[in-house]
Amino acid sequence: MSALFNFQSLLLVILLLICTCAYLHQIFPTILDRNKQGLMGIFWKAARIGERLSPYISLCCVFMAASVFIGN
């Protein structure tokens, strides 16, 4: 089943995207800062969400990891 049709997998993909973009923005800030608009702007917005909501994002990652661990 595709991650787009399974809600838990979709949330996991979104969380991984946010975490990855926030990490890349810390390492290479110019790559995401020059692409604030258009299709590549999604990654810049995800990095901003990851930076500003990092405690909540990390809690969501812990909950998702626990649900995957308990579910299997």
Q: Can you give the residue ranges of every domain in the chain?
A: 7-71
User: How high is the pLDDT of residue 13?
Assistant: 87
State both tokens at 41: 């702007």
User: How high is the pLDDT of residue 71?
Assistant: 67
Helical spans, DSSP H, in 1-72: 7-27, 29-33, 41-52, 54-71
Amino acid sitting at position 62: V
How distant is the alpha carbon of residue 58 from its chain centre? 10
| pTM score | 0.79
- Predicted confidence (pLDDT) at residue 58 exceeds the cutoff of 60: yes
Alpha-carbon span 32 to 24, nearest angstrom? 8
Task: Kindly report, residue by residue over 1-46, the tens digit of the pLDDT.
Answer: 565 678 888 888 888 899 999 998 889 888 888 878 888 889 989 9
Alpha-carbon span 38 to 35, nearest angstrom? 7
| Confidence label for 63 from pLDDT (cuts 50, 70 and 90) | confident
15 and 61 Cβ atoms separated by less than 8 Å: yes
